[in-house]
Amino acid sequence: MATTVLPCDADTAVRSASPMIARILDRALEGRELTREEGLILAEMGTESLDAFVAVADEIRRRRVGDIITYVVNRNINFTNICIIGCKFCAFSTGPNAADAYDLSFEEIARRGAEAWERGATEVCVQGGLPRELEGFHYRDILRAIKRATPEIHIHAFSPMEVVYGVEKTGMPLADYLAMLKADGLGSLPGTAAEILDDEVRQLLSRKKVTVKQWVDVITTAHHLGIPTTSTMMYGHVEQPVHWVNQLCLLRDIQKETGGFTEFVPLGFVHLNTHLFQEGKSRPGPTLEEHLKVHALARLMLQGAIDNIQVSWVKLGRELSQRCLQAGANDYSGTLMEENISRLAGATAGEYLPPEEFHARIRELGRIPAERSTTYKLLKIFPGRAN
Ligand code: SF4
């Protein structure tokens, strides 16, 4: 595979691909929905047609969403690192008696939200571990604390795992529980805790994690209540390309039914400090080809369903993020005033990127920076050189 990042005309690129791949790429360029079998051929192919695949994904991105690359000004608040679930890919969680265990008070969570708002953030992303002694209405009370201090900020909070835990702790029906969170200020849910949506793979990653059915129930119930969510997939560990394709088909089906996904976020596995890797049970994260393939595959398979494909800059770093933004992605994620989860797993891309840095990186690609809201409303476009 060529290592240059020069954009290449999609039709010319298709002619360089093998005949079978070229037929699939042509269908994608015609705007057709790819079948699971076609997706699988792309996911499992070698590197010889990868440049063509990437060029077509970039072209479909251009047709669907243009040359704007969006980002959101936000802050992560990981309110506790105490967790009983024990996911083998997680280097963030710890036990309640560990020296580095922490559990932020409502006052501190609210203070961080208010500080983020004062510094220009429109969103706080609130997620944490699952402590054994969690009080039943803790998640609701976090929302109340943030909203009391900063009524206008968008709260993007609580993975399906946390929602299921909240349901268990309160004994409320799922729909009632989510409706309560919405009434108390929940703006959207992160579609995290998805990892790979295959119960056999999930058993290898974390035996106590929500099942595929539970994940889908939380997400679709949220959508039906008017709570949008993101969708995610963690790749580069024990899974195979067939799992990527199955997951994209599942997400596409959900989106056709509910329309509630704002974006798809591929999350490359950061392996260094995880049990999964240290026990020799996983690959050492994705290869460059896998990163490009997953982003390109998402663009092609989700065409007409989910238009926003995000790069996770904390996991990918600068250069890889840029490559993936040229392989079908159109969103740079958030500025993140602090980010613990990837950093503790061994990612070194940093904890905060100011908007000016996003602008510079986006312009390097010849594209246009724009700040967005959590739900992809364009707040400000920065077409020229000036910030
Ligand atoms: S990924 Fe989440 S649920 Fe799993 S161990 Fe880490 S904090 Fe706990």
Which residue from 161, 234, 273 has its CB within 8 A of the most atoms of ligand 1, so it is best to mutate? Answer: 161
Distance 303 CA to ligand 1 centre (A): 31
207 lines ligand 1 (CB under 6 A): no
Distance 93 CA to ligand 1 centre (A): 6
**Quick one: DSSP state of residue 355?**
H
Taking residues 361-379, report their average pLDDT.
97
Q: For position 4, what pLDDT does the model report? A: 40
93 lines ligand 1 (CB under 6 A): yes
**Residue identifier of the C-alpha nearest atom 4 of ligand 1:** 87
Which residue from 87, 164, 205, 232 has its CB within 8 A of the most atoms of ligand 1, so it is best to mutate? Answer: 87
Query: What is the rounded CA–CA span in Å between residue 192 and residue 264?
Result: 10
Distance 52 CA to ligand 1 centre (A): 38
Distance 40 CA to ligand 1 centre (A): 30
Q: For position 1, what pLDDT does the model report? A: 42
90 lines ligand 1 (CB under 6 A): yes
Comparing 354 with 83, which gets the higher pLDDT? 83
Query: What is the rounded CA–CA span in Å between residue 88 and residue 205?
Result: 6
Q: For position 341, what pLDDT does the model report? A: 61
Q: For position 384, what pLDDT does the model report? A: 72
Distance 147 CA to ligand 1 centre (A): 26
Q: For position 347, what pLDDT does the model report? A: 73
Q: Cα–Cα distances in Å, from 219 out to 141, 161, 175, 222, 252?
A: 21, 11, 11, 5, 13
Distance 215 CA to ligand 1 centre (A): 15
Taking residues 193-202, report their average pLDDT.
97
**Quick one: DSSP state of residue 77?**
E
Round the CA-based radius of gyration of the chain to a whole number and report it.
20
pLDDT in tens, 336-363: 887 666 666 767 666 788 899 999 999 9
92 lines ligand 1 (CB under 6 A): yes
121 lines ligand 1 (CB under 6 A): no
130 lines ligand 1 (CB under 6 A): yes
Q: For position 8, what pLDDT does the model report? A: 63
Q: Cα–Cα distances in Å, from 139 out to 125, 147, 178?
A: 13, 13, 11
Taking residues 315-339, report their average pLDDT.
92
Taking residues 1-13, report their average pLDDT.
62
pLDDT in tens, 133-168: 999 999 999 999 999 999 999 999 999 999 999 999
215 lines ligand 1 (CB under 6 A): no
* Residue 6 in this model has a pLDDT that exceeds 80: no
The rounded mean pLDDT for the chain is 94
Which residue from 80, 90, 126 has its CB within 8 A of the most atoms of ligand 1, so it is best to mutate? Answer: 90
Q: Token pair of 169, please?
A: 């702790």
Distance 91 CA to ligand 1 centre (A): 8
Distance 348 CA to ligand 1 centre (A): 20
**Residue identifier of the C-alpha nearest atom 1 of ligand 1:** 90
Percent of the chain at pLDDT above 70?
Answer: 94
Q: Cα–Cα distances in Å, from 151 out to 53, 110, 123, 185, 271?
A: 45, 11, 11, 8, 38
pLDDT in tens, 208-229: 999 999 999 999 999 999 999 9
Q: For position 350, what pLDDT does the model report? A: 67
DSSP string for 313-329? HHHHHHHHHHHHHTTT-
Q: For position 315, what pLDDT does the model report? A: 92
pLDDT in tens, 170-193: 999 999 999 999 999 999 999 999
Q: For position 337, what pLDDT does the model report? A: 80
**Quick one: DSSP state of residue 47?**
S
CB neighbourhood size of 219 (10 A): 25
Distance 76 CA to ligand 1 centre (A): 16
329 within 8 A of 299, measured Cβ to Cβ:
yes
When pLDDT is cut at 50, 70 and 90, the band that residue 2 belongs to is very low
85 lines ligand 1 (CB under 6 A): yes
Query: What is the rounded CA–CA span in Å between residue 220 and residue 199?
Result: 18
Taking residues 356-377, report their average pLDDT.
96
Decide if domain 68-381 falls under CATH 3.20.20.70: yes
Distance 341 CA to ligand 1 centre (A): 9
Taking residues 123-138, report their average pLDDT.
97
Q: Which helix (H) or strand (E) holds 26?
A: helix 19-29
End-to-end, the C-alpha distance of the chain in Å comes to 36
208 lines ligand 1 (CB under 6 A): no
Distance 192 CA to ligand 1 centre (A): 10
pLDDT in tens, 259-290: 999 999 999 999 999 999 999 999 999 999 99
- So where are the chain's domains? 10-62, 68-381
Is the entire prediction scored with pTM above 0.75?
Answer: yes
